[in-house]
Each structure stands twice: as C-alpha cells, then as structure tokens.
Structure 1
Amino acid sequence: MSGTTPPRGATDVLTLGETMVALRGSGPLKLGGSMDVSIAGAESNVAIGLARLGHATRWAGAVGDDEAGELVLRTLRAEGVDVSGATRDLDAPTGLILFEPRLPEVTRVHYYRAGSAGSRLTAAAVEGAFTSPGAPRVLHLTGITPALGASALAACRRALELAREHDTTVCLDVNFRSRLWSDEESAAVMRSWIPYVDVLIASDDELPLCVRETTATGEAHALAKALLAQGVREVVVKLGADGATAYTAEGELYAPARPVRAVDAVGAGDAFVAGYLSALLDGDDVPDRLDRAVTTGAFAVASHGDWEGAPTRAELGLLGAGPGTVVR
C-alpha cells in the first residue's frame, strides 16, 4: 500500500468495471410504455462524479461491438472521462439493466449481463489502461467487478498488483451484490484484497466480508479497528440517511447526512465515493473528505438517475442555499 499522499500521475483516478445501457420505465414493465435510455455502472458513476469535480479520470472496461457499447463510450467521453483504455469485445454484447419503479421509494432492477462484454474484461487490457499515459494516483475498485466472472476477477487482481508496483493508492468500495455471488465467495476475495487497500468504503453490514478471522465483534467500530490493524489506512462506513463515519489511526469521525428531499437513492453510494476521493486528491483532511462525500451523496439522492445529478465543483455550495433560492 502507498503512503499518505497519493503519487502524482497523468491520471488522478483509474477505475474499471462494467457499464451497461440503462432503461428506466415510468411504471410496471409488463404494462409497456416509454423508457428513458442512459448508462449505468458503479465504477463509471464514480468516474463521472470525479470528472465533474475537475479530476482527470480514466475508465477501463469492455463493451460490445454494438450501438449499446457506442452509447456507453460516447456518454463517458461527453462527461470528460478518458476511455482510451476501454476495449471492444467482438464476441459479446454490452450489458443491459432495466429499472422498474413500483413505489415512490421502491425500484426493481433487472439485469441482463450474463456473458456480457464487461464480464470478459481481461488482465491484459487493464495493464494497458493502467500504464498509458501514466500510472494513476488512485485505483478505484468495487466488489461488483470480480463477481462478474473469472476474467474480470483476474483483471482486478492484476490492477491491484500494478497499483503496488507503481505506489498507487487503492480505494475499494465493497458494494456487495447478492445476485452476483454469495457472502462466502465475496468474503474470500475481499479478504484477499485487504493487504492492497488503503481506503476501504463499505456499509456497516459489508464490513464483516472484509475482516479475516478475528476476535472483533460485529460492531462497526470493532471491525474497522481490525481492518486498520490489518493495514488499511482509512475505513469509511456509509450509513445511508444517517451519514457516514471514518475510522483512522487517529480515531473516528462521524458526519451526518445533508438533509434533502430524496427522489432516487440509486447511485448515492457512488456519488459519496466520488466526493470522498475528490477531497482526498485535493489533500483535504478527513473531516473535509466526509463533508464533500455527504454533499455529493445528497446531490445524487435529490436527483433521478445513477450519475445525472452529480455536482460540479462550482455547485457544491448549493445545498447551503435556502429553500426556494434562485441562483443567478
């Protein structure tokens, strides 16, 4: 793992994973109707959030040689994300995700990603994306990508090895998905990754997946301390509407969530990560990192879509404006 200051490089953050075409309906899918077309993927959500905050981001992933893949790449380019490390798979399609709103705060999600191009991302492709045009300051991974298949898992492992070789800070968002793998499968991989991780971000129920056999209790602070003892520099626990807590060698710090009218919680965790990494890259201390993270998370919750509501740096102060404020 790297030291306390991320090394300088041509790219601030490299992230890799699957980005899919996203279709959002207005009601039950069985009734038909129109759908909004966009893209979605935890890692690309983070990349877009960071790009809007002024950071140089690179996304390494695989898309099909199809119009859906072109939409993914075109959208990321339009958002200022470097996709020069992305690959096209001639033999597999771009994945698809359908969002089906059922209640004001309940949305069903349907995935069509088995055998997709994103699940076939290779270690060789990651090597090229990591080193050209230069090693990134931060590598951001999630627990989603390794669950997609053996090839994607190998690509993640190679990225971790390269991060160690190039003294790149590693951020891991556990992001457990029970549809993709079991608790046991996830724990085996997450625990093997911990020696490489500098910044671990997880919800409180995901922390046990990361801690090897220990006497630590199931409480978040005990699990976080166990992870710090295993070499992780910062453990950040997302608490949803209750905010977040960061644990470091200096102690723990809590930040409440920013109050907003919630309209869509999808993508809020990714926005939180983007805010935290943005402040880390700026050299801010932990309180300021948490403050920016809960701010960007609030923007996501107050907006529809996975990444569409991500703020620019100039917009970060808007949440401090009173209700009904008109900004000119």
Structure 2
Amino acid sequence: MPDFWIIGPIAWDLALYVNHFPESGHFVQATESEERPGGTGANVATALSQAGARVHMVGYVGADPAGQRMTKALTAAGVDVDPVQVLDGHTSSVILLIEPNGERTIIGIYPDLLHGITIPAAAVAPGDIVYFAAWHDAFAPAAQAMAAAGAMVTSVPPGTLPAMQYLIGSRNDFATIPKDTTAIVTEGADGVTVHSADGTDHFPAIPTDVVDATGAGDAFAAGLLWAIGGKRPLVDGVQLGLAWATATVQAKSSIPIVESTTMDG
C-alpha cells in the first residue's frame, strides 16, 4: 500500500439536529447538539489511516483550542500531522443543520485560508497517492510537480489538470463532465456514475436508513482511494466506497465509519 497525501480542510464541527429546516425569519429548536472533529481533508485522512494506510495530512489549523483538538484527533487516528501548518486566524469551523432524513446543511463560520498553505510537493515519492479534497488554482503547480515525481494525483472538481487521473465529487460539484479524465460522480441515493474513456457505468447505492449524511462523500472517496492504492480494479473501489459511505450515514458522525469487515476489501 503506498503512502497517501491528503490536501484539504481540517475543521471543527458543531452539529445541530433539528426537526425541520427553519424558514427565513423563523425559529427552530435543536433536539441534539454535538461538537466533533470534521473537515473534508481530515475525514478522508482519518478513514484511510483507520484502514491501515500511511497518511500525511496537508492543511492548516489556527493557533486556537479547536486547532489543538483537531491536531490531537488526527494524531490519535495515526495520521502524520507534520505537514499541517499553524496559520494566523481561526481553525475552520462549520455549523451543520441535520434534518430527520439525515440531510445536512453546512454553514461556514470563518474565512477559508487553505489557498495560502505550502504543499510539500518534493516530499512525495513515486507511487504515492495524492488527493486534493478541496481545490484552489494556487495548487496547480504543486499538483503538476507531484505528478511529474511519479505520484498518482486525484482531486475533487474543478481540478481539471493534465495531472489528474481521477476527479471524485458529487453531481453538484461538476459544471461539466471532463472527457480526458475519469470522473467519478456521486449522486446520493441514486448511487455513483463513472465516466471514462471506456464509456459510462452506473452503480446503485446500497439501501439504508440515513441518520446523518455528513461525511458520506468523504467515506466514499476514502474507500475508493484505498482500493486504488491496493491496485484493485476501479469497480472494486466504487463498491468499497459505497460500503464505507453506507456505514457512515448510519451514525451521527462527521468522520467516516470504516467497518472492520471492509478494511481489507
């Protein structure tokens, strides 16, 4: 299994479970609240580390209590946090409004500083897997350099560069489906569609009761990357990603759930 480099948000979440989404100007009472680790990058990194991979987290935290909590949480999960930078400002933080059907609405609290981080492109080795869990155009030179060094570079949209072997994201993330890159499009309850040079393949979702949809996309990406790292066919990665996402939405958590029965595939 190669090393994984995950570049993306590290966040502290405030989850509020509500009976309905409030209309403009109206009041809603949370039935439950919870502070917990989150952030798309941290979620994917934690899931891969829990599955047994060597994972390097590239992102930032602020010099505040939330940053200290997130650094401890990642370290406890076995993630290498040496590339995590401490920047002036706040650690990313979001409010999650989660409805009874599990759907969540996300509200960011502080400005995103991710575009200002330094990516250690020279540290990657041939065969490593790089995943941009968020994309800024400022990342393009580092992404190209990592690909030139022999790493497999993947990203969420719109990271449409020659370096990208896979684009992984939800239907809403894709303005258009690229023709020169394999695009893996998650569609919630409708499953996943893979667009590649070989055509289009659709994979249905695994039926389940959704408690909290937070982290489902991150769980899918982690399962897919885990299978790719193990040099398994893409179809196996999609199926494993769907299994991890299904386990995740059944729990009240931002961090993906990696079931022991699926860690090895």
Band the TM-score falls in, shorter-chain normalisation? 0.7 to 0.9
Cα offsets for 1:182-201 (capped at 9, x unmatched): xxxxxxxx37x332210112
1:126 aligns with 2:126: no
Report the Cα distance in structure 1 between the residues aligned to 2:213 and 2:6, rounded to whole angstroms. 22
Deviation at 1:120, TM superposition (A): 5.6
> What's the secondary structure of 1:100's corresponding residue?
strand
Code of the residue aligned with 2:119 in structure 1: it is V
Report the Cα distance in structure 2 between the residues aligned to 1:285 and 1:293, rounded to whole angstroms. 13
Contact 1:15 1:139 in 2 (8 A): yes
Cα 1:93–1:120 change in 2 (3 A) is farther
Report the Cα distance in structure 2 between the residues aligned to 1:297 and 1:76, rounded to whole angstroms. 20
- Compare the two structures and name the one with the higher helix fraction: 1
1:252 aligns with 2:243: no
Deviation at 1:52, TM superposition (A): 1.6
Cα 1:173–1:37 change in 2 (3 A) is same
May I ask how many residue pairs the two structures share in their alignment?
Answer: 256
1:161 aligns with 2:122: no
TM (norm. structure 2) is 0.85
Match of 2:64 in 1: 66
Cα offsets for 1:20-42 (capped at 9, x unmatched): 11112344897588742212111
Unaligned runs of 5+ in 2: none
Contact 1:13 1:136 in 2 (8 A): no
Match of 1:180 in 2: none
Contact 1:246 1:286 in 2 (8 A): no
Q: Between the two proteins, what is the percent identity of the paired residues?
A: 22
Cα 1:19–1:136 change in 2 (3 A) is farther
Cα 1:145–1:199 change in 2 (3 A) is closer
Unaligned runs of 5+ in 1: 1-7, 147-152, 175-189, 212-222, 318-328
Larger-Rg structure: 1
Report the Cα distance in structure 1 between the residues aligned to 2:261 and 2:74, rounded to whole angstroms. 20
Code of the residue aligned with 2:229 in structure 1: it is L
Contact 1:14 1:57 in 2 (8 A): yes
Match of 2:97 in 1: 100
Match of 1:220 in 2: none
Report the Cα distance in structure 2 between the residues aligned to 1:235 and 1:107, rounded to whole angstroms. 24
Report the Cα distance in structure 2 between the residues aligned to 1:265 and 1:102, rounded to whole angstroms. 10
Aligned with 2:168 (options 201, 223, 226): 201
Runs of 4+ more than 6 Å apart:
none
Cα offsets for 1:219-250 (capped at 9, x unmatched): xxxx4xxx34x3x2x22121211211223333
Contact 2:215 2:253 in 1 (8 A): yes
Deviation at 1:110, TM superposition (A): 2.3
Contact 2:59 2:114 in 1 (8 A): no
Cα offsets for 1:156-206 (capped at 9, x unmatched): 2232132132121111122xxxxxxxxxxxxxxx37x33221011233343
Code of the residue aligned with 2:11 in structure 1: it is M
TM (norm. structure 1) is 0.70
Report the Cα distance in structure 1 between the residues aligned to 2:110 and 2:126, rounded to whole angstroms. 30
Code of the residue aligned with 2:217 in structure 1: it is G
Aligned with 2:156 (options 173, 177, 180): 173
Correspondence list, 1:167-316, <5 A: 167-174=150-157, 190=158, 193-207=160-174, 209=175, 211=176, 223=177, 227-228=178-179, 230=180, 232=181, 234-307=182-255, 309-312=256-259, 314-316=260-262
Match of 2:130 in 1: 139
> What's the secondary structure of 2:161's corresponding residue?
helix
Cα 1:293–1:120 change in 2 (3 A) is closer
Contact 1:21 1:72 in 2 (8 A): yes
Cα offsets for 1:255-308 (capped at 9, x unmatched): 22112221111111111111111111111112211111111111111121211x
